[in-house]
Structure 1
Amino acid sequence: MSNSPSPRPATPPTVWPARGRHSGPAAEDVVRRHLKRLKADDVIHDHLEPEPSGPGGEKVFEARWLVPGEVTVRARLALSPLSGSGSGLGREWVLMAEAEQPWDPRWPSPATMFWPQGPDTGWEYEAVTGLRLGEVTPLPDDDKELRRVLRHAARDTWTLHLVVHEAMTPDERGRAAVVRVLPEGLRHRVVEHRAAPHRFRAVNWVLDDFGVRLPRGGALVLPGSPPPPGYDAQDFSVRSVFLDGTEPTELIDAVKRFAALPRPLPNGADRALTALREEWQLLTPEEELARARELVTMYSEALEAMTKSRDLYREAAERAHEALAVYRESEAEGTLTAGKQARTAAGSPFQQLARGLGRLKGTALSLRPGTTPERRPKAGAAPDDDGGSPAGGDAGTSPPAGGSKPRTGD
């Protein structure tokens, strides 16, 4: 049996997955207030806060809205229990949205349907490293911390990680995030790492382990693990990025092309997608009617199968009773066929087996070495045609003619 993990299923084109962390203890209140405000403004159709499934479990929010083209989107936000302490106190969140059509990155970000936008909202943090989503995050100067951040970034499949090398220290315009011009649906899933001019060698020393390299003064979209089919580092790296406030068209195009590649579902996203599809409770009246009809059909089919099984069982029991009655009647009248009487006289199958083994016992003993009986010639039997001993005798042990003993030295 192979010990290699089975490949993860591909992310459906209609699905928008995201994961992050909210700092502070008030995540539920922030989401609840924001959903109520958006419903009052007719931005979303409706929202629901299902009851927790168990003690200490995650908190779930559901919402439904329309995107351009009258396409319905359903989304489910799950908040993990509060963890950490002090300034690290917070809750991890997983957001899974699915549309009726393949996802268009120009549609509004599902994250903005649950979280308010602003500089101090506290939700725009990557779940593992705590780096800001959609913002510039300078790579650390400490080599150990640099390895930790880049190794996670190169393996991460939830978030798209972009590394930009500063050929020289940028001015205020150059310090603005390059990804700020990305569509909203992509911007909230991207972390932009900045490498200082003197950290070029250290960054590539870590990235060499993943078979990719950052161009000097350029940028690179990291592959994730496993990389999506069709990923080639040369196709998703840019030789030069001018950090002067102008729009980096080539780099933005590389990020969009990478986001459009078919990618496997992130680790743990299959459970979130299953929950969205199978545990969804925010139903429209039409959906409730359709679900009730499905339940009626399912119960009707189950009842029909049980009734059919009962009828078959009853028919088989009646035939068995009829056969038993005929047998007893024939036995009482002595009209059993000869074959049945012979089988009855022969005894049970176990008795027949015992008799068979008894017959084989003698045969087996006759085949054991040293148990072959000695064959002696009958009285008056003639010798063989070649002058030897009678059949079954041993010519090499017969006494010499005349009864004389052999002389010594002959």
Structure 2
Amino acid sequence: MPTSPTVRPATPPTVWLARGRHLGSAAEDSVLRTLRRLKDSQDIDDFLELPEAEDAPERVVEARWRAPGEVTVRARLALALASAGGQEWTLAAEAEQPWDPAWPSPATMFWPDDPDATWDRDVATGLRFRGVNPLPEDDKDVRRVLRDAVRSPWNIHFVVHEAMTPDHRGREALARWLPPGLRHRVIEHRAAPQQLRVVNWALEDFGVQVPRGGAVVLPGTPVPPDYDAAGFSVRSVFLDGSEPEGLVAALTAFAALPRPLPEGGQAALTGLREEWHLLTLEEELARERRLVAMYAEALEAMTKSRDLYREAAERAHEALAAYRESAGAAPPRQPSEAPALSPLRQLTRTLERLKGTAKTLRPSPAGTDGGGDRPATTAPEPDGGPDAPAGITGADTPAGTAGPDDGDRPAKTRGPERG
């Protein structure tokens, strides 16, 4: 069963995020030169280049400045090698108040605001932020570019259709009319007059269309919940050098929509908030106070735990001593009586005794004397014959054992005598 995608948290209103690619190899030098120049002119308060770790995949530079109204802004730029060449950069800035698009762009605090600079390239499409990007002539390439633009989660893309070929005033980028905070997050795509059908065919899968001679703001990925294709479509855009008010209003409204953090945005925001190093003296003092308070709480908890353990140990010793005293004063235990027999065992023993009694009371069989089981043929002769055991005579026969008339009983026959 397919799993649902992880729901990303929404971008806070105080946060400004952007990602791009620098085509050259000296991106770090360009950033540091810009920061030194702005610090010397007091346009920024301070900046800090973090030490490079051996296994760190990126270089990090921090900067702090004040927006109009004395609003402190902290920003963090991370540079990493790009797979397509050059260096990718991720810029996260956060203010003390909700972000105002009229504030200076954080990108111009790190990068030179030079038209010939090569730092303003979109990662998804490779197109420029501050320039006009004509769509390719091949239909397949048009579809590929617009598909990548719609799927771009970091920046805002819009498409303008030229109703007729403009003059030199209409060939200038429309981003110059945008508020400073949007100029480096918006990418303009230009469609030639004959490309209207191809563009709408490529955008049909995404549910948006470009009016003839107008413009449309692409929904991006993921689509904001309040996005309406008709509401972000401009019927006409005059490419005569005048301000396109309808387009500026649509782009500003789209940028204000609540949108989830793009992939990688959570890591950039976490690094800005939790790994910040550029502190003022007041911030360092406040941090040290927080650390002292935290250590004091930990020490107090350890002290309470120690006291509780000591109290429990004392009670255990008292209980053990009382037990030993009571055990010494008690009389010695008598050995317990033999365990009572079970009813079955008692019945067995009773039957054994009855069996023995029955044997003693059983009458003697015929042919034996009354003295027991000994045969009569082996009985001794009367009056103590030579074969009688010592001490046994006829007078020893108990009274009443013979019959009433002993003389009438015939004498027992003996076997023939041997010569």
TM-score of the pair, normalised by structure 1: 0.77
Deviation at 1:143, TM superposition (A): 3.1
Is 1:182 paired with 2:208?
no
2:260 counterpart residue number: 264
Out of 203, 206, 210, which is 1:214 matched to? 210
Distance in 2, Cα, partners of 1:182 & 1:161 = 13
Corresponding position of 2:127:
131
Unaligned 5+ segments in structure 1 are 337-341, 343-410
C-alpha deviation, 1:281, in angstroms = 0.6
Contact 2:34–2:111, Cα closer than 8 Å, also in 1 = yes
Mean alpha-carbon deviation: is it higher for 198-207 or for 266-275?
Answer: 198-207
Distance (whole Å) between structure 2 residues aligned to residue 212 and residue 327 of structure 1: 87
Aligned residue for 1:117?
Answer: 113
* 2:286 alignment counterpart: 290
Which is further off, 199-208 or 90-99?
199-208
Letter in structure 2 aligned against 1:33: R
- Report the AA paired with residue 170 of structure 2: G
5 Å-filtered alignment, 1:189-268, equals 189-268=185-264
Query: Which stretch of the first structure deviates more once superposed, 45-54 or 302-311?
Result: 45-54
Q: Would the alpha carbon gap of residues 334 and 203 (structure 1) be closer, same or farther in structure 2, given more than 3 Å must change?
A: farther
What do the CA deviations read for 1:337-358 (whole angstroms, capped 9, x no partner)? Answer: xxxxx9xxxxxxxxxxxxxxxx
Q: C-alpha deviations, 1:124-149, integer Å up to 9, x for none?
A: 11122210002110112233332322
**Distance in 1 between the 2:6 and 2:321 partners?**
59
1:334 Cα offset (Å): 3.3
**Paired residue for 1:307, among 278, 282, 303?**
303
Offset at 1:73? 0.7
Q: Say if 1:335 and 1:71 are closer, same or farther in 2 by CA, change over 3 A.
A: farther
Show CA shifts across 1:153-192 (max 9, x none): 1122210101111222222222211222111110111000
The CA deviation at 1:2 is: 7.8
Shift of 1:314: 1.9
Which residue of structure 2 lines up, in the alignment, with residue 166 of structure 1? 162
Q: 1:335 to 1:288 in 2, by over 3 A?
A: farther
- Deviation, 1:199, is 1.9
Identity of aligned residues (%): 67
Distance 2:331 2:276 in 1: 70
Q: What TM-score, normalized to structure 2?
A: 0.76
Tell me which residue corresponds to 1:152: 148
Counterpart of 1:102?
A: 98
Cα contact 1:8–1:265 (8 A) shared by 2:
yes
Q: Which residue of 2 aligns with 1:55?
A: 55
Preserved contact between residue 22 and residue 120 of structure 2 (Cα < 8 Å): yes
- Contact between 1:143 and 1:202, CA under 8 Å: does it hold in 2? yes
Q: After TM superposition, give the deviation of residue 53 of structure 1 in Å.
A: 4.2
Distance 2:210 2:312 in 1: 76
Structure 2 SS opposite 1:186 = coil
CA distance in 1, matches of 2:221, 2:321: 72
User: Which residue of 1 is the match for residue 24 of structure 2?
Assistant: 24
Q: Give the Cα separation in 1 of the matches to 2:168 and 2:331.
A: 112
Residue 181 of structure 2 aligns to a residue whose secondary structure is helix
Structure 1 counterpart of 2:210, one-letter code: L
**Which residue matches 1:384?**
none
Determine the C-alpha separation between the residues in 2 that align with 1:133 and 1:51: 30
CA contact (8 A) 1:134 1:189 kept: no
- CA–CA distance in structure 2, aligned partners of residues 289 and 280 of structure 1: 15
Give, in whole Å, the separation in 2 of the partners of 1:318 and 1:206: 82
**What is the rounded CA distance, in whole Å, between the counterparts of 1:321 and 1:149 in structure 2?**
81
**Does 2:84 correspond to 1:91?**
no
Q: Which residue of 2 aligns with 1:74?
A: 74
Shift of 1:253: 0.8
Answer with 266-275 or 47-56: which moved more: 47-56
Rounded Cα–Cα distance in structure 2 between residues aligned with 1:225 and 1:204: 18
- Distance 1:329-1:57 versus aligned 2 partners, 3 A rule: same
Deviation at 1:205, TM superposition (A): 2.0
Contact 2:124–2:152 (CA under 8 A) maintained in structure 1 = no
2: CA distance, partners of 1:227 / 1:242: 28
- Bigger-Rg structure (1/2): 2
Check if 1:320 corresponds to 2:316. yes
Counterpart CA distance in 1 for 2:266 and 2:106 is: 18
Q: Answer whether contact 1:96 1:273 (CA < 8 A) is retained.
A: yes
**Structure 2: distance between partners of 1:187 and 1:174:** 18
Please give the root-mean-square deviation of Cα atoms over the aligned residues, in Å: 1.9
Read off the aligned partner of 1:257 and give its amino acid letter: A
SS in 2 for 1:185: coil
Q: Secondary structure of 1:331's partner? A: helix
Is the partner of 1:287 in helix, strand or coil? helix
Shift of 1:311: 1.5
Contact in 2 for aligned 1:163/1:192 (Cα 8 Å): yes
> In terms of mean alpha carbon deviation, does 184-193 or 135-144 score higher?
135-144
2:98 partner letter: P
Match of residue 39 from structure 2: 39
DSSP 3-state at the match of 2:98: coil
Q: What's the CA shift for 1:318?
A: 2.2
